[in-house]
Structure 1
Amino acid sequence: MPAPRGFAYEQRGADVVITHHGRPVTTLRGARAERFLAEVRAGDEQLVMARWTGNYKRGNERAARAHPRNRRT
């Protein structure tokens, strides 16, 4: 799976706004914002932001599950 790209975040006071290719995706407030900032500082920023926004899955999971090779008999 390719590495996530295009994410950015901006801290606005106590809030954190995460954007993807310049468009706002989510706003984190309070304790969630603090946890996010700690995680971003400790790891891969792009991967952390993709995971926090739910944009790390590409939608093909259901199709892959139905493939004959993945069916359980």
Structure 2
Amino acid sequence: MTNIDKRNRLDESPFTYRISKNDTVFIDFNGKVVKTIKGKEAEKILTKIKSAASEKEVQLILAKITGNFKRGNERI
């Protein structure tokens, strides 16, 4: 896993997720929603998160799900 996060950005835990009552998953990056997932895809993601061995693995899963959304011009 050391080659995946070379700049150690996932150690800061920038990603969080929330689950609503109707099993919709909201993925946040630094407190802002960047992706909303529903249905079977949400169920798959939740099983991956529950089977993760560490917090860094959870962060990696969430980062992969959101994709490459940062281009350097975002205002945070």
Q: What TM-score do you get using the length of structure 2 for normalisation?
A: 0.67
Write the deviation string for residues 53-72 of structure 1: whole angstroms up to 9, x where unpaired: 014x977xxxxxxxxxxxxx
Instruction: Report the 3-state secondary structure (helix = DSSP H, G, I; strand = E; otherwise coil) of the residue aligned with 1:19.
Output: strand
- Give the RMSD, CA atoms, in angstroms: 1.9
Aligned-pair identity (%): 29
Structure 2 CA distance for partners of 1:58 and 1:19, relative to 1, 3 Å: closer
- Are the equivalent residues in 2 in contact too, given 1:3–1:47 (CA < 8 A)? no
| Alpha-carbon distance between aligned partners in 1 of 2:24 and 2:50, rounded to the nearest angstrom | 16
Q: Is residue 28 of structure 1 aligned with residue 25 of structure 2?
A: no
CA contact (8 A) 1:8 1:19 kept: yes
More helix, by proportion: 1
Which ranges of 4 or more aligned residues in structure 1 deviate by more than 3 Å? Answer: none
State the partner residue of 1:19.
Answer: 28
Within 2, Cα distance between the matches of 1:10 and 1:40? 12
Task: Specify the alignment match of 1:49 in structure 2.
Answer: 62
Residue ranges of structure 2 left out of the alignment (5+ in a row): 1-5, 72-76
Q: How high is the TM-score relative to the length of structure 1? A: 0.69
